[in-house]
Amino acid sequence: MRDKVLISRRAFTAGVALLGLGGNGARAQGFAGLGITAEGFSPVIPGKTFAFPEDHGPHPDYRIEWWYVTANLADTTGVAYGAQWTLFRLASRPGAQQEGWANQQIWMGHAAVTRADTHRYSEAFARGGIGQAGVDPKPFRAWIDAWEMRGSDRTRDHTIAPLELTASGADFSYALRLDTDRALVLQGDAGYSKKSERGQASYYFSQPYFKATGSIAIDDKPVEVTGQAWMDREWSTQPLASDQTGWDWFSLHLSSGEKLMLFRLRQTDGNNYASGSWILSDGKTEQIASADIDMVPKTLTDLAGRKIPVGWQISIPRLALSIESVALNTKSWMGTSFPYWEGPISFKGSHAGVGYLEMTGY
Amino acid sequence: MTRIIWILAVLLSHWRRHPMQLATLLIGLISATALWSGVQALNQQARDSYDRAAATFGGARTAMLVGRNGATFPQQLFVDLRRAGWPVSPVVEGRIQIGGRSLRLLGIEPVTLPAEVGNAPTIGRTGLQSFVTPPGEMLVAPETLSDLDLTEGTAPSASDGTLLPPLRVQAQLVPGVLVVDIGIAQRLLKMPDQLSRLLVGKAKGKRVPLENVVGDRLQLVEPDAESDLERLTDSFHLNLTAFGLLSFVVGLFIVNSAIGLAFEQRLPMLRTLRACGVSARMLNVVLVVELVSLALVAGVIGLICGYLIAASLLPDVAASLRGLYGAQIPGQLTLKGEWWIAGIVISIVGALAAATTSLAKAIRLPVLATAQPYAWQQAQHRWLIFQSALALAVLAAAAGILWYGDSLISGFAVLAALLLGAALGLPAIVEVVLSFSQRSAHRAVAVWFWADARQQLSGLSLALMALLLALAVNVGVSTMVETFSRTFSGWLDGRLAADVYLIASDDTQATEIKAWLRQRPEVEAMLPSGRAETQIGGEPIEILGLSDHATYRDHWPLLQSTANAWIRLRPGDTGLISEQLARRLKLAIGDRIEVPAPGGNWTLEVVGIYADYGNPKGQIAVNIDALTRRFPAIPQTRLALRVAPAAAPALISSLQSKFGLDGRNLVDQATLKAESTRIFNRTFAVTAALNTFTLGVAGVALLTSLLTLGNSRLPQLAPLWAIGITRRRLAAIELLKTMSVALITTLLALPLGLLVAWCLIAVVNVKAFGWRLPFHIFPLQLLELVGVAMAAALLAALIPVLKLARMQPANLVKIFADER
Note the pLDDT tens digit of each residue in B33-59. 888 888 888 888 777 777 766 656 555
* pLDDT at res. B375: 45
**How far lies B233's CA from each of B57, B320, B336, B574, B616, in Å?**
21, 10, 21, 31, 9
State the pLDDT at residue B341: 86
pLDDT in the model for residue A203? 93
With a cut of 50, say whether residue B371 has pLDDT above it.
no
Query: Which range among B322-336, B646-660, B759-773 shows the weakest confidence by mean pLDDT?
Result: B322-336
The per-residue pLDDT for A215 is: 96
B41 close to B48: Cβ distance less than 8 angstroms: no
pLDDT, residue B769, reads 72
Is the bond preceding residue A53 a cis peptide, omega within 30 degrees? yes
DSSP state of B109: -
pLDDT band, residue A30 (cuts 50/70/90): very low
Of A243-252, B255-264, B349-358, B633-642, the poorest mean pLDDT is in B255-264
pLDDT higher than threshold 70 for residue B349: yes
Over residues B168-189, the pLDDT tens digits come to 888 777 777 888 999 999 999 8
Q: Is the pLDDT of residue A3 over 70?
A: no
Cα gap A145→B579, rounded to integer Å: 49
Q: Helix or strand or coil: residue B818? A: coil
Between A248 and B718, the more confident residue is: A248
Asked whether the predicted pLDDT for residue A16 surpasses 50, the reply is no
Least trusted range by pLDDT, from A19-33, A245-259, B389-403, B538-552 = A19-33
The pLDDT of residue B791: 85
B139 within 8 A of B124, measured Cβ to Cβ: yes
Cross-chain Cβ contact A132/B186 below 8 Å: no
pLDDT of residue A32: 25
Amino acid (one-letter) located at B780: L
* Contacts for B564 with CB less than 8 Å, ≥ 6 apart: none
B77 interaction partners in chain A (CB closer than 8 Å)? none
Does A33 score more than 80 pLDDT?
no
Contact B123 A22 (CB under 8 A): yes
Q: In the prediction, which pLDDT does A23 show?
A: 32
- C-alpha span between B388 and B371 (Å, rounded): 29
Contact B93, B199 (CB under 8 A): no
CB contact under 8 A, A143 and B127: no
Greater model confidence, B593 or B364: B593
Band (B120; pLDDT cuts 50, 70, 90) = very low
**Residue A15 pLDDT level (bands cut at 50, 70, 90):** very low
Which is nearest to A19 in space by CA: B56, B131, B198, B178? B131
A23 contacts in chain B (CB < 8 Å): 122-123
Top-ranked range on mean pLDDT: pick from B293-297, B317-321, B718-722: B293-297
Q: What is the mean pLDDT of chain A?
A: 86
Is B132 close to A132, i.e. CB distance below 8 A? no
> How far apart (Å, rounded) are the C-alpha atoms in residues B641 and B632?
23
Q: Is residue B603 predicted with pLDDT exceeding 80?
A: yes
Pairing state of beta strands A285-288 and A272-279?
antiparallel
CB A326 within 8 A of CB A349: no
DSSP notation for A224-292? EEEEEEEEEEEEE-SPPPTTEEEEEEEEEEETTS-EEEEEEEEETTS-EEEEEEEE-TTS-EEEE-GGG
User: Which member of A92, A143, A173 has the closest CB to residue B129?
Assistant: A92
The 10s digit of each residue's pLDDT in B419-466 is: 889 988 888 888 888 889 888 888 888 888 888 888 777 777 777 887
Q: Evaluate if residue A38 carries a pLDDT over 60.
A: yes
Examine the pLDDT at B361 and tell me if it is beyond 80.
no
Using DSSP's 3-state secondary structure scheme, residue A62 falls into coil
Give the tens place of pLDDT for each residue, B528-562: 888 887 877 767 788 989 888 888 888 888 888 88
pLDDT at B381: 72
Q: Name every chain A residue with its beta carbon within 8 A of the beta carbon of B118.
A: none
The Cα–Cα gap between B350 and B337 comes to 20
CB atoms within 10 A of CB A89: 26
Which residues of A make CB contacts under 8 Å with B?
Answer: 18-19, 21-24, 26, 29-30, 33-34, 92-93, 100-102, 104, 106, 122, 124-127, 130-132, 143, 145-146, 168-170, 173
Q: Percentage of residues in chain B with pLDDT exceeding 70?
A: 86
* CA–CA gap between residue B750 and residue B400 (Å, rounded): 23
Chain A residue with CA closest to B133: the answer is: A102
- Rounded Cα gap, residues B298 and B27, in angstroms: 8
Domains of chain A (ranges; CATH) run: 2-360 (2.40.370.10)
CA distance A229 to chain B (A): 23
- Please tell me which residue of chain B has the smallest CA distance to A104: B133
Nearest to A204, CA basis, from A334, A19, A96, A46: A46
Mutate which: A29, A101, A105, A108, vs B, most B CBs within 10 A: A101
Say if the Cβ atoms of B83 and A168 lie within 8 Å: no
Q: Which residues of A217-251 are buried (b: 16+ CB within 10 A; e: fewer)?
A: bbeeeebebebbbbbbbbbbbbbbbbbbbbbbbbb
* pLDDT at residue B379, as a whole number: 62
Q: Where are the alpha helices (DSSP H) in B496-524?
A: 507-518
Q: Do B128 and A125 touch (CB under 8 A)?
A: no
Residue A4: per-residue pLDDT: 30
Confidence (pLDDT) at B325: 64
Computed over every residue of chain B, the mean pLDDT equals 80
B758-792 as b/e: b if 16+ CB within 10 A: bbbbebbbbbbbbbbbeeeeeeeebeebbebbeeb
Residue of A nearest to B110 (CA): A21
Whether the pLDDT of residue A20 is over 50: the answer is: no
d(CA B42, CA B493): 33
Q: What confidence tier does A18 reach under pLDDT thresholds 50, 70, 90?
A: very low
pLDDT value at A213 more than 90? yes
CA terminus-to-terminus distance, chain A: 19
B296-312 per-position pLDDT tens digit? 999 999 999 888 888 88
Query: pLDDT digit string (tens) for B139-163?
Result: 888 878 888 888 888 888 887 788 8
Rounded Cα–Cα distance for residues B56 and B48 (Å): 12
Q: At what angle do helices B408-440 and B727-759 cross, to 10 degrees?
A: 150
B508 vs B646: CA distance, rounded Å: 29
CB contact (8 A) between residue A170 and residue B202: yes
Cβ(B314)–Cβ(B333) below 8 Å = yes
| Closest residue of chain A to B74, computed from CA coordinates | A130
Of B268, B398, B293, B423, nearest to B348 by C-alpha is: B293
Q: Specify the range with the lowest mean pLDDT, choosing from B113-117, B335-339, B611-615.
A: B113-117
Contacting B residues, span 52-81, partner chain A, CB-CB under 8 Å: 75-76, 78-79
Residue A350: pLDDT band with limits 50, 70, 90: very high
pLDDT at A182 (0 to 100)? 93
Q: Which of residues 157-216 of B touch A (CB under 8 A)?
A: 181-184, 186, 192-193, 202-207
Q: What is the DSSP letter of B327?
A: -
Mean pLDDT along residues B506-531:
86
B137 in A contact zone (CB under 8 Å): no
In which band, very low, low, confident or very high, does the pLDDT at B700 lie, cut at 50, 70 and 90?
A: confident
Radius of gyration of chain A (CA): 19
Q: How far is Cα B584 from Cα B326, in angstroms, rounded to an integer? A: 20
* Minimum distance, in Å, between the CA of residue B506 and any CA atom of chain A: 26
Stretch among A337-341, B76-80, B233-237, B300-304 having the lowest mean pLDDT: B233-237
Neighbouring residues of B532: CB distance < 8 A, sequence distance ≥ 6: B542, B543, B545, B597, B627, B630, B631, B634
Task: Return the higher-pLDDT residue of B252 and A215.
Answer: A215
Higher pLDDT, A49 or B206: A49
Judge contact between B428 and B457, C-beta under 8 A: no
- Give the mean pLDDT of B757-776: 80
As for the ipTM of the complex, it is 0.88
Closest CA–CA distance from residue A227 to any residue of chain B (Å): 24
